[in-house]
Amino acid sequence: MVNDLDKLGLTNIKKIYHNLSYDELFKHEVKNKEGRVSDNGTFMVDTGIFTGRSPKDKYFVKQDPSQKYIAWGNINKPISKELFDKLYKKAKSQLSNSEIYIQDAFCGASISSRKNVRFVTQVAWQAHFVKNMFIRPTEAELKEFHPEFVVYNACKCVNEEYKKDGLNSEVFVIFNIEENIAVIGGTWYGGEMKKGIFSMMNYWLPLEGKLSMHCSANIGKDGDTALFFGLSGTGKTTLSTDSNRQLIGDDEHGWDDDGVFNFEGGCYAKCINLDPKSEPEIYAAIKRNALLENVVADENGKVDYSNGSKTENTRVSYPITHIKNRKENSQGNHPKNIIFLTADAFGVLPPVAKLNKEQAMYYFLSGYTAKVAGTERGITEPVATFSACFGEAFLPLHPTVYARLLGEKIDKHEVNVYLVNTGWSGGEYGVGKRMSIKATRTCINAILDGSINKCEFENFDIFNILIPKELNGVETKLLNPINAWADKKRYAELKLNLAKRFIENFKRYEDVKEGIEFAKAGPNL
């Protein structure tokens, strides 16, 4: 019995597979020939030409009241109600007259903040992905389950008339906030469902006065919660996985009046070059019920994690229960420490710095890291990347909405905020070397156990953030980056250059009160 089935608007459904168990989903995946089974029993699928999200194909229906709140632009693109209706009808027609999988799940471990989401798809592995990534309701909860939001995943449906419709491609990922519906067409990539609901949580929660965050979180034996913000490649997953602390979650969290909570019931980890020595928890989580995406395996099903021939973005989704050292209810107290991770490939920023509240707002709104552009013919310059709130691609509201909420919570709960650079030292990329994980972990441990507070700090000029003069276990010359550089003139040049980039990027906030206020906390030339 599927609650509210008549509201789905699908006709002539041949068979509904509703909330199948892992074993049942596995049988369907094998029977439907949706992929292969690896040598250790993990199901492996290919997502076709779409091995990542399609951000240029993401739209919100422009209508009242949501259009007043959405920050329209390159990330949140408008689509008319008429065009939505046309594509919604097309997607429903694709899903009708067929067998469908319906998976019901919660997004949010906090009962007062969670949302009930229903996913409708024609592909068993996509139902499996949802079961892994979202919170699995109990039998009793499923009996009473009424969806607040429905995702129609019609991945087999494409919009051939996209040019006439003035859209980007035949793929579409559309959110209709007023009707509580999302429609996905033309892409098989599982991450669209995960990040689609994350975008919706980033719309709903702030309007309820709650903060939604793109971060990982863990908790110590004394109940002290830590949040780790950072863009891709900064070490968010690796550094929040710590044998001395329980994992709350690795990617998406909310912060309400009761504390911090995971949005998800699973993890979606990168697999490229996965090594059991450096990431034993993730490696051990890849077993039956996990789902591997776009990996390469030999004829016996042995996976070669170093092979990125399909994509560098190879992934595995698994239920969080596959991680032994986790917080059972996926919730934590109000944070004691917040860490902003950046991988500065210019080698300018210090390995650790203490931020005051205004600086925390500035670096949160900047969301800086530097990506290393690897090309076949050798290396090009690192690219400075700024992504507001360390997750701009998923923010429907103006970034300052999230910053304001974070600032209020930092104040109220007296949270310490630090900037940690996991990038280069002693020279820029290609000259210096990557900060060792050992040195970074030492900095993070000093933050988490409070021993960093015993350090004597000095000002890191131009940026005017505080850096420790000495820190037990970290080479002193690394703490103030200039001391680790042989070419001091080049360092000064790059430092000035990076400061200018920060200032230039922050000009985007010139038209809002917070932007003017927090600009003062940035670099000062």
Question: For residue 10, how far is the Cα from the chain centroid?
Answer: 32
Does residue 51 carry a catalytic annotation?
Answer: no
Q: Which of 38, 237, 369, 400 is catalytic?
A: 237
165 assigned to a ligand binding site:
no
The response to whether 238 counts as a known ligand-binding position is yes
407 is in an annotated binding site: no
230 marked as binding residue: yes
53 is annotated as an active-site residue: yes
315 annotated to bind ligand? yes
**Is 156 one of the annotated binding-site residues?**
no
Annotation-wise, does 326 bind a ligand?
no
> Has 288 been labeled as part of a binding site?
no
Given the residues 53, 128, 136, 194, the one annotated as active site: 53
Among candidate residues 114, 236, 245, 354, the one labeled active-site is 236
CA–CA dist 497, 262 (Å, integer):
38
| 114 annotated ligand-binding residue | no
- How far is Cα 396 from Cα 403, in angstroms, rounded to an integer? 14
One-letter amino acid at 288 equals R
The DSSP code sequence of 496-522 is HHHHHHHHHHHGGGTTSHHHHHHHTTS
Check if 57 is active-site. no
In the residue annotation, 237 being an active-site residue is answered as yes
Whether residue 319 has a cis bond before it, omega within 30° of 0: no
Radius of gyration of the chain (CA): 23
CA distance 45 to 295: 8
Active site residue 118: no
Structural contact between residues 85 and 92, judged by C-beta atoms closer than 8 angstroms: no
Residue 187 labelled as part of a binding site: no
* Residue with the two structure tokens 């003069």: 469
Catalytic residue among 80, 169, 232, 436: 232
Any binding-site annotation on 214?
Answer: yes
DSSP 16-84: EEES--HHHHHHHHHHTT-SEE-TTS-EEE--TT--S--GGGEEEE--TTGGGTS--SSSSEEE-HHHH
Judge whether 239 is annotated as a binding position.
no
* Active-site pick, 77, 131, 194, 214: 214
- 366 marked as binding residue: no
Strand partners for 459: 466
Please indicate if the annotation marks 330 as binding a ligand. no
Cα-flanking dihedrals φ and ψ of residue 410, to 5°? -60, -45
The count of other CB atoms within 10 Å of the CB of residue 163 is 11
User: Does the annotation place 209 within a ligand binding site?
Assistant: no
Cα–Cα distance, 366 to 505 (Å, whole number): 7
Rounded CA gap, 402 and 361, in Å?
10
Active site residue 315: yes
Contact 351, 425 (CB under 8 A): yes
Q: Which two tokens stand for residue 269?
A: 């980890």
Instruction: Pick the catalytic residue from 224, 250, 251, 256.
Output: 251
Of 58, 118, 195, 210, the active-site residue reads: 195
Strand partners, 316: 269, 292
Q: CA 390, CA 403: separation in Å to the nearest integer? A: 11
The active-site residue out of 92, 315, 326, 354 is 315
Distances (CA, A) of 396 to 75, 148, 238: 8, 19, 28
- Verify whether residue 287 is a known catalytic residue: no
Q: Return the structure tokens found at 339.
A: 């860490």
Residues with Cβ within 8 Å of 237's Cβ and at least 6 positions away in sequence, in order, are 216, 250, 251, 267, 269, 270, 282
Question: Can you read off the two tokens belonging to residue 234?
Answer: 């900064």
| Cβ-proximal residues to 501 (8 Å cutoff; 6+ apart), any chain | 384, 386
Residues at the annotated binding site for substrate? 53, 189, 195, 315
Kindly list the catalytic residues.
Answer: 53, 195, 214, 232, 236-237, 251, 315
Binding site residue list for ATP: 195, 214, 230-238, 279, 315, 440
From the annotation, which residues make up the binding site?
A: 53, 189, 195, 214, 230-238, 251, 279, 315, 440
Q: Which residues are annotated as a binding site for Mn(2+)?
A: 195, 214, 251
